[in-house]
Structure 1
Amino acid sequence: MSPFLATCLAASGSTNEFEQRGDRFWNRAFKGGQRLPDDIAQWPNREYNISGRLDGSPEQDVWINRILNVAGNHDIGYAGDLTEERMERFERVFGKANYELRFELPITDPKYTSTVYDSEKNPDALRIAPEIRIIVINDMNLDTPAKSKPLQDQTYEFINAVITSSHAVEFEGHFTLVLTHIPMYKPAGVCVDAPFFDFHSDGDGIKEQYLLSEDATKGFWEGIFGVSGNPMAAGKGRGRPGLILNGHDHEGCDTYHYINQTNGTSAKDRSWEIKRWPEAKKLNIVGQEAIPGRRELTVRSMMGDFGGNTGLLSMWFNPETWEWEYEFAQCPLGRQHLWWFVHILDFGVVFLILVYGLVSILQAAGVDVDGNLGSFSRWLSSVVSELAYGETSSAVPNGKLKGKL
């Protein structure tokens, strides 16, 4: 399946600069990669097309080179910067900002196919054909105020379409993978980035933000994933299986968002809580019947100062439990210091080659290079001595200072 990448361009730059960086992205950094065709990046709908089949057939090899780009602040800006012009150039160069893909895993073993839902043969079954639903969301303009309300409305229309076209929470076999840029809300102290908003002085919108607001975040957990604090809700409030992948926080973070259905006397008394993934596992919160939740993975930055990271997500289907399982690993490619060392070394080698060539030419022309170099060295030494000790005549040839000691 295609790698998931957050592009890093200058939203504030000119259109020409954007085009140049786009050219470097496709023809140098990810040469051979293919932009996802617009007709494949579909709008959510109850009647949808399968984007690909996870059967290993040659027809599916086309996905090996396709790249899914997630719009970020360096691409289109924050809500107060995002305009129709910026969105148009991003989508033209890198693909749509909001879309979904559906990948189906064919199951042919009668042992398992007999347990799958069929309106006539098996109407009471809760198992449905295994499927991964990838949802790419532009969350740069979810919070307000936004410079372009039509673009913000479009994002919310997309999310509403995602929710209304989702399968019922009771069914098993589907996995929802959400790709965004700005991480979900977390109180200060959970990750490196804490909640922060800055606004343009002219009132046009958000100038910068570190995390989504609590309300926007709740829309993901309770809307897209269908998790509820009410144990009497559909599927006991446990929601749809899934995961959120994002970036923006350069340090990266791995968290678990959950809601304890036993707190208080009613659902309105319960609120979302967040813990680091290792801590949540240690406290045995993950998987508890009355504590539904979802994991959020914020990939550490690919910038050199942060180890040049990328994330590797591996997924597979377990037919016995009828669930998708996964593993995630950070893949540091190395700091930028090695990159600079290699380039400085290259520059030094080129410089020495040029000097050697120049010396060879001068010697061939009859120039006494060694003699001239010696004269230059003596002159430079006298200049340094004068700067360091004052008048050069203050010392006699045997090195003794004039005058009395």
Structure 2
Amino acid sequence: MSKLRSIFKRFVNIALVISILLRIYIHTYPSITPELCSWDDTKQFQNSEKISDIFKIEKTPKFKSVKDKLSLQFLQSYLFDVYENVIDRKVAEQKRKHDKYTNPRFLLFGDPQIKGNWKNTPLLKKLDTFGNDYYLGHIFSTMFKRLRPDFSIVMGDLVSSQWIPDDEFYNRTERYIKRVFPGAMPLNLDRIEELKSNNPADDGINYKTDWVKFADKTINAINNDKESLQFDMGNDVYKWTDEDSCLFINMTGNHDIGYSGDITYQHMSRFTDMFGKDNFVLHYNQGKPNSYRLVNLNSMLLEGPPLESELVSTTWEFLYQLFEEKFEGTTILLQHIPMYKPNGLCADGPDTRFYPNDYEKEPYKQGLMRSQNHLSVETTDKVMNLLFHNGKPGIILTGHDHYGCDVVYNRYTSKMKDNPDGLAISHWKASSKVDSKSNNKQFTGEVVQEITVRSMMGDFDGATGLLEMKFNEKFDSFDFVYKECLFVVQHVWWATMVSNILVIFLLSIRTLFF
């Protein structure tokens, strides 16, 4: 019996140590790769001397191999970062101080795609969905507490399906706001609480969006009163409300509203009920050399054939109004579907599909847009010429491709052979590097970086993107620094939770019986 007690106590001690180590790991994981999970030191940063060097992408950790991570240098780096960011946060707070006007900072979260439960969903699946919410929430809470950004942006695909009914869309939105991004969106929380109080039901909510009203307003505006379309959300907006800790933007994705051949007024009405506008612009530092704008674009409503043409027309009207601004600053474009690029540059190659002409399940969708990995070549050129026409470098932030990617778009001009006036046409090509005029005489010297943010889902290591813009007086533009901070697959988070519960149970048994 004494031998059994000894074995049990030893087992409990081992389980306790493992549980503590796992708990420490999940709360200090950014300290394992601090070079990728921290803002740059503003005092040590050097602005680029060449325009081709203004985009800096950092995804490779300093300590890569197991041997590296067993070194004294790694241990010192880890413990030092833990001390600064977990134990004595005053040091980290001092380092985080920056000028948000010349050095804005963004936390970027790719495609959470939270799933839902139904009455017939197995218990284990419900538990998995419940845990996944808190896995994603842990990533946000850890990174936000550590970095305190000026902007937090979710790159679309907030929920996992556009086919769900209104009340389930509400349920997932409520979980998204309360569990996945807790405390980050007071305005959205107020919005959904108001919807719940206005649509009561015994089992939660009887929410039905008023899509007819939304449709009438949209159709009337685009056909009869384009001036009533309000896309400008203001200047120097760093919070939606006084209660916000930063400006939080929820982009829309195809899993939220569908592709253009699927999107109905109902889809758009309920999305705007919960999250606000799908197309808008925010301006910063107007009239100054360091001026920039955030353009939030619904890229699902750029091409077709669409189900509702007025929705596509509204999105293009937004782009035309932006072009007419003759904006002279830097543009940061936010869109879910990436621009066109050939096979081989990213995990997802170009792939556009349409509903068959004999589609019997939903005959009204025959021939319409069904899915797309990228925008088309023509739409890519058109959008970029409308938004990046002033010669300044810019950046495009996208989601959709869960593996993440980064490419440069170089701008070229060529004479139109059939045009008697000899006018030039402008087009953009994706590449892994910035081109040069010595290499291609048609290259204009204009470049735009596209970054596809890796998904924060567990299958993609719970990624977070960090973007910093640093004003470069030499070019009257910004240097861009992007980093990719990875957590770990969701199974490790689950192992931590299970081991913690198990250890508490075992310690209780040891206390009571041993």
1:274 aligns with 2:274: no
**2:297 matched to which residue of 1?**
137
1:85 aligns with 2:266: yes
1:166 aligns with 2:326: yes
1:3 aligns with 2:157: no
1:33 aligns with 2:184: yes
Structure 2's unaligned 5+ residue stretches are 1-149, 192-228
**2:372 matched to which residue of 1?**
209
Instruction: Provide the rounded CA distance (Å) in 2 between the counterparts of 1:147 and 1:352.
Output: 59
Partner SS state of residue 100, structure 1: strand
1:98 aligns with 2:279: yes
**1:221 matched to which residue of 2?**
384
Q: How many residues align?
A: 309
Q: Contact 1:35–1:66 at 8 Å: present in 2 too?
A: no
Once the two structures are superposed, the pairs formed by residues 158-197 of structure 1 within 5 Å of their partners are: 158-167=318-327, 171=328, 174-197=329-352
The 3 A distance-change label for structure 1 pair 305 and 140 is same
The 3 A distance-change label for structure 1 pair 3 and 270 is closer
**2:471 matched to which residue of 1?**
317
Instruction: Provide the rounded CA distance (Å) in 2 between the counterparts of 1:59 and 1:198.
Output: 38
Q: Contact 2:436–2:443 at 8 Å: present in 1 too?
A: no
Q: Contact 2:434–2:447 at 8 Å: present in 1 too?
A: no
Q: Which whole-Å deviations, capped at 9, do the CAs of 1:108-143 have from their partners, x for residues lacking one?
A: xxxxxxxxxxxxxxxxxxx84532210101111211
1:23 aligns with 2:189: no
Q: Contact 1:182–1:248 at 8 Å: present in 2 too?
A: yes
**2:445 matched to which residue of 1?**
291
**1:336 matched to which residue of 2?**
490
The 3 A distance-change label for structure 1 pair 270 and 23 is closer
Q: Which whole-Å deviations, capped at 9, do the CAs of 1:7-53 have from their partners, x for residues lacking one?
A: 42022222222111111121121111126689xxx9356xx842438
State the AA in 2 paired with 1:30.
F
The 3 A distance-change label for structure 1 pair 323 and 282 is closer
**1:14 matched to which residue of 2?**
165
The 3 A distance-change label for structure 1 pair 319 and 338 is same
Aligned-residue offset at 1:281? 7.5
Q: Contact 1:99–1:136 at 8 Å: present in 2 too?
A: yes
Instruction: Provide the rounded CA distance (Å) in 2 between the counterparts of 1:285 and 1:88.
Output: 49
Instruction: Provide the rounded CA distance (Å) in 1 between the counterparts of 2:491 and 2:305.
Output: 40
Q: Contact 1:146–1:204 at 8 Å: present in 2 too?
A: no
Partner SS state of residue 291, structure 1: strand
Aligned-residue offset at 1:347? 6.0
Higher mean C-alpha deviation, range 343-352 or range 130-139: 343-352
Aligned-residue offset at 1:95? 1.8
Quick one: which of 401, 409, 416 aligns to 1:249?
A: 401
The 3 A distance-change label for structure 1 pair 147 and 270 is closer
Aligned-residue offset at 1:205? 2.2
What TM-score results when the alignment is normalised by the length of structure 2?
0.53
The 3 A distance-change label for structure 1 pair 73 and 289 is closer
Partner SS state of residue 383, structure 2: helix
Instruction: Provide the rounded CA distance (Å) in 2 between the counterparts of 1:242 and 1:221.
Output: 10
Higher mean C-alpha deviation, range 197-206 or range 157-166: 197-206
Partner SS state of residue 216, structure 1: helix
Higher mean C-alpha deviation, range 180-189 or range 302-311: 302-311
The 3 A distance-change label for structure 1 pair 44 and 294 is same
Partner SS state of residue 235, structure 2: coil
The 3 A distance-change label for structure 1 pair 292 and 320 is closer
Aligned-residue offset at 1:242? 1.6
State the AA in 2 paired with 1:154.
T
The 3 A distance-change label for structure 1 pair 261 and 207 is closer
The 3 A distance-change label for structure 1 pair 36 and 206 is farther
Q: Which whole-Å deviations, capped at 9, do the CAs of 1:47-96 have from their partners, x for residues lacking one?
A: x842438xxxx999766333101000111111122111111111111121
State the AA in 2 paired with 1:14.
P
Once the two structures are superposed, the pairs formed by residues 139-154 of structure 1 within 5 Å of their partners are: 139-154=299-314
State the AA in 2 paired with 1:275.
S
The 3 A distance-change label for structure 1 pair 308 and 217 is same
State the AA in 1 paired with 2:321.
A
Q: Contact 1:70–1:180 at 8 Å: present in 2 too?
A: yes
CA RMSD of aligned residues (A): 3.5
Aligned-residue offset at 1:292? 2.1
Instruction: Provide the rounded CA distance (Å) in 2 between the counterparts of 1:134 and 1:254.
Output: 19
Partner SS state of residue 312, structure 1: strand
Which structure has more RCO (C-alpha within 8 Å, separation ≥ 6)? 2
The 3 A distance-change label for structure 1 pair 338 and 243 is same
**1:387 matched to which residue of 2?**
none
Q: Which whole-Å deviations, capped at 9, do the CAs of 1:278-328 have from their partners, x for residues lacking one?
A: x43799989x97332211111111111111112111113234543222211
Partner SS state of residue 3, structure 1: strand
Partner SS state of residue 339, structure 1: helix
Instruction: Provide the rounded CA distance (Å) in 1 between the counterparts of 2:186 and 2:257.
Output: 18
What TM-score results when the alignment is normalised by the length of structure 1?
0.67
Instruction: Provide the rounded CA distance (Å) in 2 between the counterparts of 1:260 and 1:132.
Output: 24
**2:103 matched to which residue of 1?**
none
Instruction: Provide the rounded CA distance (Å) in 2 between the counterparts of 1:283 and 1:250.
Output: 34
